[in-house]
Amino acid sequence: MLTELPFHIPFNKPYLTGNELRYIAEAAAQGKLSGNGAFTHRCQEFFQEEYGFGKALLTNSGTAALEMAALLLDLQPGDEVILPSFTFTSTANAFLLRGATLRFADSSALHPNLDPAEIARLITPRTRAVVVVHYAGVACNLAAILPLIEKHHLILIEDAAQAIESFHDRRRLGSVGHFAAFSFHETKNISAGEGGLLAINDAKFARRAEIIWEKGTNRAAFFRGETAKYQWVDIGSSFLPSEMTAAFLWAQLEHRQCILQRRRQQWITYEQGLAPLAALGLLLPHIPVYAQEHNGHIFYLICRSFEERQQLIQYLADQNILAVFHYQPLHNSPYFHSQYSGPNLRNSENYAQRLLRLPLYYELSEQQQSRVINHVLGFYTTQHLH
């Protein structure tokens, strides 16, 4: 007899809102396919006007936005950049590529975001910048971090790759740092396949940002009629995406409220459904009061041990459900560990070992989500309750 396998529940599934291909066709019909055209302007103006970013430049990726921020810092040999260890490689690579010395900070014991006390520990006279990562779209403790930035005249870069539509109290993430990088990779809440955005909130960097963005030329100013010649005026690279990417992104931005509300609801459903696990000693996400308005980017559990997490991953995989772990600490990575001198970053290592992300995406149905919740609970109640 054939038994039907339950449908596979992936970890993530990119969501098309409906207008993406229509807008791409529009971009093509306008005969302007390279970057910095009508759809690019529409997206950038949206971020400046609706989100209050000083200047917004679309990029080919979140990585590219971080690289632009690093270029704008004009780092000198020996300059130091403080960043969390529990993050994606791009947060580090962008600054390493400019010759910075990386100083890795540990996460908080309560949540994966960096601990502000770690910034205080790592500041030296050579510190130039601090990069904060709003993990899972949950705000870092900016109220504790900003005074350190001001006191030591540092540059604050928000790696807001996961944090579109999230807030710290009433302040929108991405509007607080001198710079903020967003990602529109297909795994993020708002997607363009690959894509990103650099927000430049300190006006003194705005003009140079545009030059670096356009291969070191004053092309953007030239087309606005602000300069008589189109010339090579600084270093730069090709950071801007094509109009097709911007057109796709515009369709997604139009649906941002729908996407946000659905993800928030799914996040809350997990939080409520999995609440009984807290009594067993597992941890559900800790959302500080200042970060309550978050975008439901990731729902994670902190298992009691590495072994337990691996067993749970396997158990869910056997039920056709894909749950995944996340970052491995950068300070301990094959690339960096021989260059790292400093204490063990225990919290970062702990999240690497014990954190598990559950499926969360627009098209995850209520029924599918119940299945995930029931199997996670089932793992603990029927087989593994020690």
Q: Which residues bind ligand PLP (CB under 6 A)?
A: 61-63, 87-88, 90-91, 133, 159, 161-162, 183, 185, 196
The one-letter code for the residue type at 349 is E
Q: How far is the CB of 163 from ligand PLP (least distance, A)?
A: 9
Integer Cα distance of 349 and 86 in angstroms: 8
The one-letter code for the residue type at 16 is L
Q: How far is the CB of 119 from ligand PLP (least distance, A)?
A: 17
Cβ nearer to ligand PLP, comparing 90 with 252: 90
Integer Cα distance of 368 and 175 in angstroms: 36
Q: How far is the CB of 254 from ligand PLP (least distance, A)?
A: 20
Q: How far is the CB of 66 from ligand PLP (least distance, A)?
A: 6
Cβ nearer to ligand PLP, comparing 240 with 376: 240
| 99: alpha, beta or left? (left if phi > 0; alpha if psi -120 to 50) | left
Q: Is 188 a catalytic residue?
A: yes
Q: How many CB atoms lie within 10 A of CB 386?
A: 7
Instruction: Choose the catalytic residue: 13, 32, 55, 188.
Output: 188
Cβ nearer to ligand PLP, comparing 90 with 107: 90
Q: How far is the CB of 162 from ligand PLP (least distance, A)?
A: 5
> What are 169-174's contacts with CB under 8 Å, separation 24+?
169/143, 169/290, 171/142, 172/51, 172/52, 173/134, 173/137, 173/139, 174/51, 174/53, 174/199
Decide: 15 and 259 in contact? Cβ < 8 Å.
yes
Cβ nearer to ligand PLP, comparing 63 with 269: 63
* Helix or strand holding residue 375 (H, E): helix 366-378
Residue 365 DSSP code = -
Cβ nearer to ligand PLP, comparing 185 with 331: 185
* Enzyme catalytic residues: 188
